[in-house]
Structure 1
Amino acid sequence: ALRDITKRKKYHEELRRHRDRLEETVRERTRELEEERQKVLAILESIREGILVLDEGGGIVMINPSAEEMIGMAEKKAIGRSVEKVCPYLEGINLKLLKELEASGDTVEREVERSDGTRRVVEISSYPLVGEGEVVRGHIVVIRDITERKIIEKERLERQKLEALGHLSAGLAHDFNNILTAVLGYITALSAKLGEEGEAAELLKRAQEEIYRARGITEQLLTFTEGSGEPLKMETDIKEVVEKSTGLFLSGSSCKVKLNVDEDLWGVWGDSAQLTQLLGNILLNAKEACGEEGVIEISASNVKIKKHPSLPKGRYVKISVKDNGEGIPEEIQDRIFDPFFSTKEEGRGLGLYSAYLIATRHGGDIDFESHPGRGTTFHILLPSTGKAPRREIKEKVGEATVGEGKIRVLLMDDQEAVLDSTSLLLKELGFEVETARNGQEAIERYKRALEEGEAFHAVVMDLTVPGGMGGKEAIKRLKEIDPNVRAIVYTGYSNDPILSSFREYGFSGALKKPFKIEELITE
């Protein structure tokens, strides 16, 4: 019997074509899924955060390379283990806590010590892996290394504290320096009366030096304040600064100190108080590095630089401080001048940073060379005057004269004690002194003296007068009255930028309170 199987053949043919299309669709979808899988794997491998994928029970299903590095365990070894047992990074991390983090959106932090001995801070968060029907099928744990962020936050907080302290210190410094100026003036006047010989004269001289050194305390606080710390550059005897700093900062040390300073050492254009601070930071650093039986070598010499990576050619004074300590580890040498970087537990990391700021603000440079086990040498370069400074300035009573009359000085300050002590001292030295309490009064006295033919040879003014006209405003009016007026400005705000550019404001000289009378006379 014959059967017509045409329809059946068509059916089988259609079934085969349908199967082929289905297989091709499956292959295409498989390729797409594999491509998506490879994309996900590539993304996971490129992410810096550690990613752990967990099943419903908290067992590890997959981890990325960053997580492998963080937990110190390869993926093959970690898969199947519970999350709380894989590494110290996740100490205290369990499924219950992960679910709480997912519900609240919070994170937890852990500080851990890695296998290489370094301590890191990580932040851990968790997200539910939701499947069909909004059923939680697992968990994705993200581990972020936030060590650098914590360091930046700490540094920002430290900066804010220092800036707040600096603003507070600026006001305190003004009052503190006014008091020191008055005390210094009275002591100097008494010293002039007693003469230079005798035990009393020596004690008064020591008191003068200690008062002047006290000014550096407030300047140290102001070094890091925004917009402050600019040096009041004048011809400075750096030889004296080096010798006094060595005695001051290394006194009581068991280290052997070798000091070698050229006798004909040039002066530098600088701020003696700030340069003392710079050297103090370097010397204290050397003192700590040496320990009990160390040797510190300090040298200062004149150098002519023709080529330097950061300085113009010219004449400089080079100061070197060498210790025989353990040296600076090579891995941290690039960071020692960074603010807040310290290897000491209680260190603030500001000493060398301060030294760097002062050196560069003086137009100089600071560098070092260090060898493990052989010590460290810091080299400081400061622009010089090219000549040795005058090392003796002595004024005697009766020498303050011009022509046939005395030198007339107009002194303006809002502080009664400063006016009294400074005018007393100037009179003791032979000057004729008139005083004013503010800028307006000084202008009136100056104008009247000019009209009466008894002009002042110099005007000495305080920069600021609370509630009145200070020197900054008064100098403009005085210049209108007399373009040739010789005016010297001083202030207890030792961080005021006018001090570093006083000529631009019309002043002939500038001083920081408290000042030595020799400095005022020299100006």
Structure 2
Amino acid sequence: MTAAEDALRAIGAGEVDAFVVSDGGSDPRVFTLSTADRPYRIFVENMRDGAATLSSGGLILYANHRLAQLLSCPREVIVGSSLARFLAGGLPIAPKQLKGPDGLGATLELDLLDDNGVAVSVLVGASPLDVDGDQLTCLTFTDLRAQKAQEQEIARLSHAQAKQIADVRQEFALDLAESQKLEALGVLAGGIAHDFNNLLTVILGNAGVALSTLAPEARERGPLAQVELAATRCAELARQMLAYSGKGKFVVEILNLGEILSGQAELIEAAVSKTAVVAIEVAHDTPMVEADATQLRQVVLNLITNASEAIGDATGTISVRCGPIDADRAFLSDYDFAGQLPAGKYAFFEVADTGAGMDTETKEKIFDPFFTTKFTGRGLGLAAVQGIVRGHGGGMKVRSAPGQGTAFTLIIPASKKSASPAAPSAAPVIGHTIGTVLVAEDNDAIRRMTVMMLESIGLTVVSASDGAEALHLFEQRADEFAFVLLDLMMPGMSGEEVITELGRIGTATPIVLTSGYDAQELSQRFVGRGVAAFLQKPYQLSQLRATVLEVLTAQVPG
């Protein structure tokens, strides 16, 4: 029996506490532990991980019981053997591999081969140890087979499942990228529209006041009316930019797409070329939708005009259809923003032409702002159409190929509400003394114009150039004001912050909020906060007068 075997037998029998510490020779040195060190040997012998002591030359000088189990090999065989014997490939480990960057030890993953040639994946932790001048290394071996089996089980997912996961991830990434692009462009379009609306408010307001002071036969009325008309058309362009930003639902009603389409029949005929034949098909059970009629008419005319231009001077057909659709997830997957569309009942609208069609590259760009295949200056139409549809919670898809025409299909969620008959309007009756109004507007030109318009109606006006000044004036003269006309976007203290402070004061004075953004969105945002009316910029004198009368009439008892 060798000295190593004899020492190991004695340790196992509990006769002595010792282990081999020398590399070889016919008489290996045996290091004997004191009785006080026995708990540490007991601890190592009962570890859940394998443990070994390695000489500087790579020989295993000590192995615990767990390592013998991992290697399916008696300890007396392990001790005295080279670690390389149990490594897959039989290549020795260089000493530097067992040292970490701090020189205190390393962690590495290895495959061992047990005595039967079966691979055992382990995580090896190495720590340096100096014993009487001998440089040893203590090793621990953590069994990774259960973890590896779990990883292999995950890897064995079927190809179909893996592809499905990849498809979902890709769809999500594409939707996210598209959403981020539209959000960025929407912010840009919304900001431009806001500043544009401020300018148009000044133009329309001053033109309206000037017209109201002129006699019906005055020569100046004609040019002023043209200014007002041009500014109104510019306001429509601003609304188109808001539509692209997805914030264009200004006047939402319960509508029928079929009725919108039927009502556009004459305009459709006028919009198409003489060589194109228009076929309109409206299903009798087309569901009602909650939408802005003006924007839907814009969508119809944009798509019809595009279809006519696609046909050009050739003979062709434009098919226009609308009706109901029960959409499940599979159906909705073909539409843009499919992940945001709930399954359910929709109303669809489709415009298909027999024109030249589009290749894939063109089709991928048609919704980009200002991309066009037509003459310079065009290109916002389809981007605005997409924004309108998105703003109504709907989706759109395009089918096209060169020589096979193009079809645009859009869907809008069916409304669960019923259309209510419009109540007859009655002209409000106001006395001669209308009252005093507090106006807060940071834009000097708009503030002066608003003061002039309100004074022409018969109101006394107190104005402020920002929210803080308006709040100070209100606190001093609250009892004087019939209502407050407040701009939402102001530097320093915004209109919303003023509304919050007025709410803390507990005033019952009504607030008229003005903004270039979507009135419907703002009405939902400020519900229950004392806002009596919303006035969307740009507004004309007639609109301001109607809003003032509405607010003041609401305060008249009975």
RCO (CA 8 Å, sep 6+): is it higher in 1 or 2?
1
Which structure is larger by alpha-carbon Rg, 1 or 2?
2
Q: TM-score, normalised by structure 1?
A: 0.49
